[in-house]
Amino acid sequence: MRVALTKSFTFEAAHWLPTFPPHHKCRRMHGHSFRVSIVVEGDVNPATGYLIDYGEMRAAYEPVRARLDHFLLNDIPGLDVPTAENIAAWIWRQIKPALPMLSAVIVDETCTSRCEYRGE
């Protein structure tokens, strides 16, 4: 049986988007309550009845959350232009080695705006 599992997390952070026009509101520093969903896909192990322990997903993401939570994203190496698209790809690169079954990273910047990244 093939399944997709999703585990969601939150972090608070500030950013500003230096590539936006000078008059755009996102060019100014502001903050968000980001929501990140990590999706893994694969075949359920018939012996255990599950694909992966959700705790393994949390353990893979926790060091990333600690680097993002309550920081200015622009100051984090690789996030000098911290759009939702770049944040999702950056998170993917950080956790993919620990989660080979990773199939998507979804970043909700607001309750109505999100980016879904599925790797290169």
- Please pick, among 26, 41, 115, 116, the residue that the annotation labels catalytic: 26
**Residue 109 annotated as catalytic:** yes
Q: Is 68 exposed, middle or buried (0-12, 13-18, 19+ CB in 10 A)?
A: buried
Residue 115 annotated among the catalytic residues of the structure: no
| Active-site annotation holder among 12, 24, 62, 70 | 70
Catalytic residue at 24? no
Point out the catalytic residue in the list 23, 109, 116, 120: 109
Half-sphere exposure for 83 (CA within 13 Å, toward CB): 9
Residues assigned a catalytic role: 26, 70, 109
